[in-house]
Amino acid sequence: MAERSFAREVEDLKLGEGEIFRGEGILAITKALLQSGVSYVGGYQGSPISHLMDVLADAKDVMEDLGVHFETSASEAAAAAMLSASVMYPVRGAVTWKSTAGTNVASDALSNLSSGGVTGGALIIIGEDYGEGSSIMQERSHAYAMKSQMWLLDPRPNLPSIVKAVEDGFELSEASNTPVMLQVRIRACHVHGQFVAKDNRRPAFTLKEAMENPVRDVNRIVLPPASFIQEKDKLERRWPAAIEFIKARKLNEFFGPDEGDVGIILLGGLYNSVLRGLQQLGLADVYGNSAIPLYVMNVAYPMIDDEVLEFCRGKKAVLMVEEGAPDYIEQSLHTLLRRRDIQTHVSGKDVLPMGGEYTAPVLLKGFTSFLERWATPLLGNRPPVPDPSPVLSDDRVKALATVVPPRPAGFCTGCPERPIFAAMKLVEKELGHHHVSADIGCHLFSILPPFNIGSTTMGYGLGPASASAFNVKADKRAISVMGDGGFWHNGLSTSVGNAVFNKQDGVMLIVDNFYSAATGGQDILSSRATNPRRKTNNSIVNAVKGIGATWVRQIDRTYDVAKMRDTLREALTTKEPGPKIIVASSECMLNKQRRIKPQFNADVKAGKRMVKERFGVDEDVCTGDHACIRLSGCPSLSVKPTDDPLKDDPVAAIDNSCVGCGNCGEVSEAAVLCPSFYRADVIMNPTGWDKFLAGVRQKVIGWLQRRRENRRVLFAAEGA
């Protein structure tokens, strides 16, 4: 069960010929796959393409009707390997992941796939996680296309263009027997727009037919001498075929006047920003009319030499607009023009930054430099361009920079990972700081305040592996953290197997929250929910024991901070050799709430006796040191200024978003913090016995309270 239900979006997948699809870019791609007669879809979830996976998971009925097989792959490598179904059989397949992270994982299979080539269309949809909002290293996936000679599409970021790219992509793949990558940037994945839908298509050739009529061709297998033949085939047959198809189908586009002294060559994905930059210079309008010739490369790789030469012909200079480093296309341009001895000047990263997102202001600056050198008259009388610098240089705004706090992502309210790191903090106070290797997943938020735990992150499922060098005698052990997502992605072999085999004397903390939580709460092998379409409930503890680990502890309630702390302490101090593995399990609170809240409310409505828990702080008791917050960082545990004239500092306060996870109480108890926390249990629909008991208690307690009140000499409460 994913974090979000896509029931409504599933309806959009059923739209037929001529109907208008309205929605997010990534969902448009999903619809385009079905319109293209895809046979199978796989992938690994992750922003910005999670919704593609989620909607397909929810669209089981639609998929079954069409005979499409959908699978949540164990990793991007598994997804890429899945495309091998299209090697021998004319079936169309598509896989998806976030890139470059996922492409790195998938690259082994992708190399083999592209070397042998495909028969059926093979499409790799990559969510290019680059620029603002990205959660990974800033690299270009372009390199993969170049090194394996796969084709890379980078369509203009509007729904009709993206949908067309999916359809063209399959055909291009088939025409050139080569897998095709389709790159979509973060904002394009999330862009809301519309396109005219077509009917969904059943695959012409089914997987069943393939399985029942197997075909083999040893020349498709990457083993000498076939691998050498494949290299030749790639360069001499498949490449020209692709060029031919791209040209014939006009996948790249030309805009603006036919003639001009200068021109701009740009990747399709950057079209809207380029146009906005030109618009601000008075050189284009909102409807795409441009005063400068534009060559839009919706195919980022391969470059179509003839089209480029044609575009450059007669121009004094062209500007290449490609985002990120290195400047692969600009380099190719130089090579091409030099080889043909064409003297058109090529500009690019000389006027545009090497790295970083190409926003309209960045482009505007680059265009200005470029035009100043090559076509000053175009700049005309230089209308004013948007400029926030007078605002930003004002002292009032500068003063603001000192107070606006950074607001990085963090653990959600009630997150079960919080108490794990609170316990680590407590152990840190006892045993000192340790080297901590982190991994990928929600638990990586531990590197931020208030926990500040974790030194490196090397990749998904690689946390413990990245601590493997720290396997020498020392007074402290290295700790590594890995989530359940990373564990099943490849951590079981790469990290746990590696540690067992090499007798890695470290502590391995496996954070098990029942989902691939950071990517949107998808089910994984160890999910506790029963998923009729998947086999869940596979124990991580059994898996690590099965691979040979001996010191294994399971903690079934991470909120038990004291137990968590004691187990960690034991793992750090025990004499036992080899990896010390702690599996800390509690359900992701975001998903848990989504699961139990409706049920809880329904039960209350039905008159059942239900107990709702939340936490609170007695503000009179709180002294405003905020030690509790430094061990928590929970969004619902905050501070509030107090009207108490004798208190200088704000006191702790818990708001109504508290889900009663218990962390506050456990931490203040385990860390001997302070007695201000209380848990409030609200009994809804109390039984007769409840009411009777409460009545008796109230009588006794009330009598005692009144008795004391009457005996004490106090000022009347004023305002407080």
Partner 1 sequence: MADNLPAAAHRFATVKPVSIAILAMGGQGGGVLADWIVAVAEAKGWVAQSTSVPGVAQRTGATIYYIEAVPGMEGVHPTLSLMPTPGDVDIVIAAELMEAGRSVLRGIVTPNQTTLITSTHRSYAVSEKEKPGDGIADPNLVISATDFAAKRTIAFDMEKIAAKNGSVISASLFGAFAASGALPFERADYESIIRAGGKGIEPSLKAFGAAFEQVLAKPKEDPKAGPEKNLPPLPATAGHPALDGLVQRIRTGFPENLHPMIYAGVRRLTDFQDPAYADEYLTRLGELHARDRAEGGAAHGFAFSLEAAKYLAVAMAYDDVIRVADLKVRGSRFDRVRKEVGVKSDQLLYTTEFMHPRMEEVCGTLPRGLGLWIENNKGLYGTLDRFVNRGRRVKTGTIFWFLGLYMVSGLRRIRRGTLRHQREMDFTREWLEKASALLPVNYALATEVLKCRRLVKGYSGTHVRGTSKFDRVLSSIPLLRDREDGADWMRRLRQAALIDEDGIALDGALKTVASL
Please report, as residue ranges, which positions from 325 to 344 form the binding site for partner 1 (by CB under 8 A): none
Which range touches partner 1 (CB under 8 A), out of 53-61, 208-216, 231-239, 626-634?
Answer: 626-634
Binding region for partner 1 (CB under 8 A) out of 206-214, 339-347, 501-509, 683-691: 683-691
CB-nearer residue toward partner 1: 229 or 397: 397
Q: Distance between CA 36 and CA 415 in Å, rounded? A: 41
Distance CA 25, CA 715 (A): 66
Query: Smaller CB distance to partner 1: residue 222 or 682?
Result: 682
Told to check if 380 binds partner 1 by CB under 8 A, we report yes
Interface residue with partner 1 among 271, 460, 488, 559 (CB under 8 A) is 271
Q: Does 226 bind partner 1 (CB under 8 A)?
A: no
Instruction: Report 661-680 residues binding partner 1 (CB under 8 A).
Output: 664-666, 668-675, 677-680
* Positions 134 through 173 that interact with partner 1 (CB under 8 A): 134-135, 157-158
Q: Which of 218, 472, 606, 714 binds partner 1 (CB under 8 A)?
A: 714
Cα gap 641→628, rounded to integer Å: 16
Nearer to partner 1, 39 or 280 (CB): 280
Q: Which of 187, 388, 359, 363 is nearest to 278 (CA)?
A: 363
Q: Of the two residues 203 and 269, which places its CB atom closer to partner 1 in the complex?
A: 269
Burial of 480 (0-12, 13-18, 19+ CB in 10 A): buried
> Which residues 106-125 are close enough to bind partner 1 by CB under 8 A?
none
Q: Measured from the CB atom, is 525 or 604 closer to partner 1?
A: 604
Return the range that interacts with partner 1 (CB under 8 A); candidates 75-83, 99-107, 325-333, 624-632: 624-632
Using CB under 8 A, which of the segments 52-60, 219-227, 471-479, 711-719 binds partner 1?
711-719
Least distance from partner 1 to the Cβ atom of residue 696, Å: 8
User: Which of 272, 61, 217, 245 shows the shortest CA–CA distance to 151?
Assistant: 245
Q: What backbone phi and psi angles, to 5 degrees, belong to 312?
A: -75, -25
Contact call for residue 562 and partner 1 (CB under 8 A): yes
Size of residue set near partner 1 by CB under 8 A? 148
**Cα–Cα distances in angstroms (integers) from residue 442 to residues 4, 96, 449, 705, in the given order:** 17, 21, 14, 47
Q: Residue 358 CB, nearest distance to partner 1 (Å)?
A: 10
Q: Considering the rule CB under 8 A, would residue 65 count as an interface residue with partner 1?
A: no
User: Which residues are 196's β-sheet partners?
Assistant: 20
Closest CB to partner 1 among residues 387, 475: 387
Whole-angstrom distance, CA of residue 7 vs CA of residue 13? 10
Which tokens belong to 588?
């992701």
Interface pick for partner 1 out of 73, 86, 273, 480 (rule CB under 8 A): 273
Angle (nearest 5°) at CA 413 between 408 and 417: 80
CB of 668 to partner 1, least distance (A): 5
Report the 10 Å Cβ neighbour count for 276: 18
Could you say whether residue 48 binds partner 1 (CB under 8 A)?
A: yes
Give the per-residue contact string, 391-420, with partner 1 (x = CB under 8 A; - = no).
xx-x-xx-xxxxxxxxxxxxxx--------
Q: Does the protein bind partner 1 through residue 642 (CB under 8 A)?
A: yes
What tokens were used for 140? 């270009």
| Cα–Cα distance measured from residue 264 to residue 347, given in angstroms and rounded to the nearest whole number | 9
Cα–Cα dist 445/658, whole Å = 20
Cα pseudo-dihedral 169, 175, 179, 182, rounded to 10: -20
Q: Name the minimum Å distance from CB 663 to partner 1.
A: 11
The CB-of-443 to partner 1 minimum distance in angstroms stands at 11
536's CB contacts (< 8 A; 6+ apart) are: 523, 524, 525, 526, 527, 528, 529, 530
- The amino acid at 267: L
Note the helical H segments in 251-304: 271-280
Give the residue among 95, 149, 155 at the shortest CA–CA distance from 122.
Answer: 95
CA triple 595-596-599, angle to 5 deg: 110
- Interaction of residue 383 with partner 1, rule CB under 8 A: no
Query: Is 629 among the residues that bind partner 1 (CB under 8 A)?
Result: yes
Question: Which of 68, 124, 378, 582 contacts partner 1 by CB under 8 A?
Answer: 378
Single residue of 60, 187, 557, 569 touching partner 1 by CB under 8 A: 187
Judged by CB under 8 A, the residue of 95, 442, 507, 568 near partner 1 is 442
The 240-269 contact track toward partner 1, x by CB under 8 A, reads: -----------------x-xxxx-------
The contacts of residue 150 (CB under 8 Å, 6+ apart) are 110, 114, 124, 144, 178, 179, 180, 181, 301
Whole-number minimum distance, CB 355 to partner 1, in Å?
Answer: 17
Which of residues 83 and 422 has its CB atom nearest to partner 1 in the complex? Answer: 422
Of residues 506-535, which lie at the interface with partner 1 (CB under 8 A)?
518
